[in-house]
Amino acid sequence: MTDPTPSLGDLRAAAAALAAVAPRTPLLDAPDLTERLGAPVALKLEQLHPIGAFKVRGAFTALARLPDAERIHGVVTHSSGNHGQAVAWAARHFGVAAVIVMPADASPVKVDGVRRHGGEVVLVEHRSERQPRAEQLARERGLTLVPPYEHVDVITGQGTCGLEILEQCPEVGTILVPVGGGGLIAGIASAVRRLKPAVRVIGVEPAGAPKLARALAAGHPVSLDSTASIADGLLPARIGTLPFEVMRPVVREAVTVDEDAIRAAVRYIFERLRLTVEPSGAVTTAALLGGRIPGATRGSGPIVAVVSGGNVESSLFERLVHASPS
């Protein structure tokens, strides 16, 4: 069987193309977390991308690699929010139409973001209806489907985040990654595998959506009966088949964080670092604050925690940052 892991050449080519439209995001030292853990900690600030989340990496790479004859007819995807914004943004860059199928309960700030970037929003009642509806629209309108994580070019684009981390912190020992469908952690694992396979790559997910933890325990993706969390970007009921295959040689650990820990992390990042992040982007910090990362000590090497996005409703954010600690 052919190894689906992106090659180092593919990752570097994607990074070079992306650099022209979305400059690399910084690593920010987190002295308070460093003091707590006894190991250097830095945050990878993916919320600073043009659409406020890492998803721009995969969406732009996927559209850039489409043949012109396909791309000109437009694209369609399904998304709870950030991938949809990224596809709409990338489609506008290439001057093509984008249709984004979203659940009716999607965050209004993310729905508005899709429209602001020129995307057409199609709402469905249940999250499970998103993919079938997107596939139907692709057939009916002659659009190309750009999935949120089950696509090698999307994974390759997300892998540019891993390249940056390894370049910005060559001595990194552990990378913590939020996990939704698995595209980001698969991409980062690809870069680690190609360049520094000894680095630990640990997935972090809400306790109400432990799809990676279940998959690692079973040895294959497992569908959860339901998912629930304030971290709305991390709610797929199943880890992606392709992402799981790509990440398996590197990723052996997944930890979960509860809702109180996620809320506390959003508040912590705002109060200590003056950054606005969404709950999905705060789960890695929640894991550090809650002591959920085994072996994170001074001798284990620096830790990089990926902050995956910052698209959060202002009213929700106000409630989170002004809530009394539990």
Question: What's the pLDDT tens digit per position in 115-168?
Answer: 999 999 999 998 889 999 999 999 999 999 999 999 999 999 999 999 999 999
Beta strands per DSSP E along the chain: 27-29, 41-45, 75-78, 98-103, 120-124, 144-145, 174-178, 200-206, 253-257, 303-307
Last-in-domain residue among 91, 125, 145: 145
Residues 6+ apart with CB under 8 A from 82: 51, 52, 53, 54, 55, 110, 233, 309, 311
| CATH code for the domain in which residue 92 is found | 3.40.50.1100
Q: Is the pLDDT of residue 306 over 80?
A: yes
Binned at pLDDT 50, 70 and 90, residue 1 comes out as low
One domain, residues 168 and 309: yes
On the CB side of 11, CA atoms within 13 Å amount to 24
pLDDT at residue 236 above 60?
yes
Q: 93 and 206: one domain?
A: no
* Domain identity same for 201 and 78: no
What are the phi and psi torsion angles at 204 (to 5°)?
Answer: -125, 130
Number of domains in the chain: 2
Mark whether 181 and 131 lie in a shared domain: no
Residue 324 has pLDDT above 80, yes or no: no
Q: What residues are paired with 147 via a beta bridge?
A: none
> Per-residue DSSP letters for 233-299?
GG--SS--HHHHHHHTTT--EEEEE-HHHHHHHHHHHHHHH-----HHHHHHHHHHHTT-STT-SGG
Same domain as 246, residue 110: no
Query: Is 127 in the same domain as 202?
Result: no
Q: Which two tokens stand for residue 228?
A: 């629930």
Burial of 36 (0-12, 13-18, 19+ CB in 10 A): middle
User: Which residue, of 113, 145, 177, is where some domain finishes?
Assistant: 145
* Measured CA distances, 75 to 18, 87, 112, 124, 126 (Å): 19, 8, 19, 18, 22
Residues 175 and 138 in one domain: no
In one-letter notation, the amino acid at residue 208 is G
**Residue range 180-188: average pLDDT?**
98
Q: Verify that 248 and 157 share a domain, yes or no.
A: yes
What is the C-alpha separation between 108 and 105, in angstroms, rounded?
A: 8
* Residue where one domain finishes, among candidates 123, 145, 167: 145
Give the sheet arrangement for strand 253-257, strand by strand: 27-29, 41-45, 303-307, 174-178, 200-206, 253-257
Residues of the domain holding 256? 8-53+151-322
Does residue 86 register a pLDDT over 90? yes
Asked if the model's pLDDT at residue 326 lies above 60, the reply is: no
pTM: 0.96
According to DSSP, residue 169 is labeled -
Nearest to 214 by CA among 262, 247, 255: 255
pLDDT at 300: 74
* 88/120 same-domain check: yes
Quick one: pLDDT at residue 80?
87
Residue 3: inside a domain: no
Mean pLDDT confidence for 308-321: 89
Catalytic residues: 55, 80
Mean pLDDT of all residues in 49-60: 96
- pLDDT at residue 17 greater than cutoff 80: yes
Residues facing residue 53 across a β-bridge: 309
